[in-house]
Structure 1
C-alpha cells in the first residue's frame, strides 16, 4: 500500500496500555463499590471515551457523575498509566520505515495528547510525528470524523491519500465517517470478523504488515 498519510489509533494499535487502563478503572470502580466488573469488560471499552466506558461498566447515565469518574480516573492515570504501557514489537520499525518513505504520520486517539507525548518521548525524536490529535483536541470523540478531518486539514492531506489504522470497530467507523481507507490490526479485543463487517483495505495480525 502506498499512501502519503498514515493516521494511527494509539491504544491497542501502537501500544498496549491495557494494564494501566484496567488498573485505573479498577481503583475508581472499587472506590465506588463496583466490585463485580471484570478486567475483560474493562478492556472491551478501550477506545471509547472515559464517560462512555464508565457508563457501560456501571450503568450510570448521569453526566455529572460520569464527569466525576473521569476526573478521578485522570488523577490515577497520572500515576499508573505510562509505567504500565508498552509499545507493540512492530510499532517503532513500522513507523520509522513509513517515515523513511516520506509519509506523513499522525495519531488520532481518545487518550489525552499530553499523555501520548510524554510516553513517546522516550522512543521517538521530538518532531517525528507530524500530528497528534488527543481527546482534549476535539469536541466530538471517535467515531466522529472530527479528529481525522482536523489532522488532514493540518497536514494538507486528502482523504484519498490517507490510511487510518486502528484495532476496534470505533476506529473502523471513524475511518468510514471521515471518508478515508481503513486497515485493522488485531492487537486488541476486537476480532477479525468484527472488523471485516466494515469497509477495509486489510486486516493485519500486526503492524509490520503495513510495510
Structure 2
C-alpha cells in the first residue's frame, strides 16, 4: 500500500467511521491554553475549530511521527530492503515491513530476518541510515489534517512536540521542507535517548524539555508501542487508526480516545453536536 492509498484510506475512515468522541469540547472552569481561566461552560473554539475533548485539558500535545502525522512508509520499505540485501538476505514483503514501522530498527531486523540476525544489527543500521540519507525525507508526506492540527494547537497556545523512533534530523527536515518547523516546540528522536519506545525515555525527555508535568501532556500515536510508552511515562494517550494497529489492540491500555486519524484532534463547527 503506497502513500497515496494510505492517504485515501485515511480520508475514507474519517468520513465513514463512527465517531467514538466528537471534536466538540466543553471545558468547565480552570485554565485552558486556548481561552485562559474562567467559568464559561461552552465549546473551546479557535477560528471555528474545536479541540477534541480528549486533548483539551492538556498543556502539551506530543505526537508520534510515522503513521500519526506523516507517511514515510515507501522510503522505509526501500531502506529496509536495501539494508537486508547488503546483509545477503532476500527482500521482505512491503506489508511485513509496514507492520514494523514505529519499532526501533534493531527490533524490526529481528522480526523481518530472524533473531539470529541481531548479531549483524550494527551493519544493518549502517546500511539503512546511508540509504535513508538519500530517500527518506523526499518520500515523506504529511497525512490529511496534520498541518491544520499542528497550526491550530500552536495558535491556541499549546506546546507541541514529536516523539519518534526516527532520527530527529529527518523529522526536522520534513517539517522544514513543508514550512511546519516553527509549529513544533520539541522533537525527540531515536538518537536523543538511550532507549526507544516502548521505553518512556522519549516522552519523559520531551515533557522535561517543555517543563510540563507528564500528567499535563497527552501523547497521540498509532501503535501499541506508543500506548506502552505513554503508560510507562504516565502520559495520557490518544490512539489514531491511521497506522497498521487495529482498534482492538488499544483496549488493553488506558486510552482517552480512539480517533480515525490525526485530523480528528481538531474539527470544524460552531457548537456541540457539529
TM-score by length of 2: 0.74
Q: Once superposed, what is the RMSD of the aligned Cα atoms?
A: 1.4
Select which of 136, 140, 162 maps to 2:195.
140
Give the unaligned 5+ runs of structure 2: 1-52, 267-274
Select which of 72, 82, 90 maps to 1:17.
72
Tell me which residue corresponds to 1:38: 93
1:79-98 alignment runs, 5 A limit: 79-98=134-153
Select which of 55, 64, 80 maps to 2:110.
55
1:131-210 alignment runs, 5 A limit: 131-210=186-265
Equivalents in 2 of 1:81, 1:104: separation in Å? 27
Select which of 107, 120, 126 maps to 1:71.
126
TM-score by length of 1: 0.95
Equivalents in 1 of 2:185, 2:208: separation in Å? 12
Mean alpha-carbon deviation: is it higher for 167-176 or for 24-33? 24-33
Determine if contact 1:163/1:180 at 8 Å carries over to the other structure: yes
Equivalents in 1 of 2:116, 2:203: separation in Å? 28
Aligned with 1:201: secondary structure? strand
Determine if contact 1:60/1:66 at 8 Å carries over to the other structure: no
Select which of 103, 106, 112 maps to 2:167.
112
State how many pairs are aligned.
Answer: 211
Equivalents in 2 of 1:183, 1:74: separation in Å? 30
Q: CA offset at residue 124 of structure 1?
A: 2.9
Aligned with 2:179: secondary structure? coil
Q: CA offset at residue 203 of structure 1?
A: 0.7
CA displacement, residues 14-73 of structure 1 (integer Å, 9 cap, x when unaligned): 000111101111122233343262111111111111111111111144655111100100
Determine if contact 1:168/1:190 at 8 Å carries over to the other structure: yes
Alpha carbons of structure 1 residues 107 and 58: separation in structure 2 relative to 1, 3 Å: same
Determine if contact 1:175/1:181 at 8 Å carries over to the other structure: yes
Equivalents in 1 of 2:188, 2:67: separation in Å? 16
CA displacement, residues 148-184 of structure 1 (integer Å, 9 cap, x when unaligned): 1111111111122111000000000000000011001
Alpha carbons of structure 1 residues 72 and 6: separation in structure 2 relative to 1, 3 Å: same
